[in-house]
Amino acid sequence: MANEIGQTGPTRSLARFIPGRPRMRSGLVPIYVPFLFLIPALILLVVFRYYPTISAIYHSFTIWDIPKPGEFVGLKNYQALFSDPIFLQSISNILKYTVVRTLLTMTMAIIGAELVYNLASSSWRNIWRLVFTVPMVIPSTVDLLIWKQIYAGRQGLLNEILVGIGALNRPYPWIGRPDTALWALVFIGFPAVAGFGFLIILAALQNLPAEVNDAALIDGCSRLRRVFSIDLPAIRGPLALILILSLNGGLQQFAPMLVVTQGGPVNSTMSPGYYLYTQGFTYGAHGYASAIGTILMLMTLTLSIFIMRARYRRAYDVAI
């Protein structure tokens, strides 16, 4: 019987049921060993992810003046939240911010990746991949501070250029006016040339079986038709991943509002993430801040589930 252990087929499953012997996997490793290796990660996950999440959900039903324990108030925080004009405005702001930024990120990442994928020279492909990757190593806070200076009134790069070419008579306060501040944040870091989405899509395209492309070309399929009929349907998995990451990242956005605009002017760039931070750390309303966090979590969770389900609808993945 011992010889059968590790073999494939029906005999392998028989080996698992030998009394007094640990259940084994194909590599002669007891089945519990992989779980042992997962324990440290699991502990970290529970301590730093699940516990804070559960704690925040619990505290969202309390008035919580740290360091005292929270005082249970039921749904009071949620009732206040949905009649709080600043919170409602922050939701509206972040939806606009996320949708536009995600569209820009995804569209341009697909175009960029397709263009590079279709390059015949592999060395040029590598150069372009490098060009898209380098900006990703700049720390985001540095990026934000640079962009804050780009949008500045006097001495701001954007104004210097626009005044210099005669497009403006005098500097315009891009982040000092409610009608432009949010859009100024949307364009920080040129989301249209975001490297992360580009790299994932390019990797997915390069993993597509070459035979499919060759067959399509032989059958007279144009490159553009191939993109929409073969490439994009085949990489729905990676596209869904980018979409989820982009939407989640956008909805939880906080740093640009903190560093560049502080939620202003007149709350026009207030995001739920920054409002949560302000309520918690400036006003000391940690229960209320937890309620904002819980709503944000539910929003991102719902979106992620929706996207994951949509990704499998009528899908047949070839890549990744």
Partner 1 sequence: MLKKLTLVLLLCLLVTALGTAVAQDSELSGEINVYPQNYYNPEADPDTAAVMESIAQAYMEMHPGVTINLIANLPAGTDYNTWLASRIAASEAPDIAWDQYAFRNQQMDNWWVALDDYLNMPNPYIEAGTPGSERWMDSLPDYVINQTRAPDGHLYQVSLDWVETALYYNVDMFKEAGVEPNWANWGAFVADMNKLRDTLGVDPVGLYQAGTGWSSWYWADDVFLSAVWHDKAPEILMQKYIDLQPGRDFRRLNTEEVAKAVHDGVLTATDPRMDTYLALSKQFTELLPVDYIGITSLDDIQRLFLSHEVASFWGGTWNNKQVDESADFEWGVTYLPPFTAEDFAGAAGVSYRVGGPSSAGQYGIPAATADEGNLELAVDFLRWMSAPQNFGPLAATYRGFIPMVAGTEGGAVVQNFSAVAALPERLFGDPNGRLTNEAGDQWSAAMQAFFLDQTDLETTKAALQEVWWNGMLAVCEQQSYDWCS
Measured distance CA(234)–CA(10) in Å, rounded: 34
Distance of closest approach, residue 256 Cβ to partner 1, in angstroms: 12
Kindly state the helix (H) or strand (E) to which residue 38 belongs, with its residue range.
helix 33-45
Q: Residue 108 is encoded by which pair of tokens?
A: 């341009």
Distance of closest approach, residue 282 Cβ to partner 1, in angstroms: 5
Distance of CA 153 to the CA centre of its chain: 31
Distance of closest approach, residue 90 Cβ to partner 1, in angstroms: 12
Q: Residue 297 is encoded by which pair of tokens?
A: 């979590």
Distance of closest approach, residue 63 Cβ to partner 1, in angstroms: 10
Coil vs helix vs strand at 30: strand
**In this complex, which beta carbon is closest to partner 1, that of residue 53 or of residue 141?**
141
Residue whose token pair is 């009608």? 179
**In this complex, which beta carbon is closest to partner 1, that of residue 63 or of residue 232?**
63
**In this complex, which beta carbon is closest to partner 1, that of residue 68 or of residue 313?**
68
Distance of closest approach, residue 160 Cβ to partner 1, in angstroms: 12
Selection from 191, 177, 105, 199 nearest residue 147 by Cα:
191
Residue 33 CA: distances (Å) to CA of 4, 39, 41, 85, 185: 20, 10, 14, 53, 48
Residues that bind partner 1 (CB under 8 A): 65-68, 148, 151-156, 170-178, 181, 258, 260-267, 269-270, 277-278, 280-285
Q: Which residues pair with 72 in a beta bridge?
A: 62
Q: Residue 98 is encoded by which pair of tokens?
A: 């996320």
Distance of closest approach, residue 44 Cβ to partner 1, in angstroms: 18
**In this complex, which beta carbon is closest to partner 1, that of residue 19 or of residue 85?**
85
Contact indicator for 259, 184 with CB cutoff of 8 Å: no
**In this complex, which beta carbon is closest to partner 1, that of residue 122 or of residue 282?**
282
**In this complex, which beta carbon is closest to partner 1, that of residue 171 or of residue 249?**
171
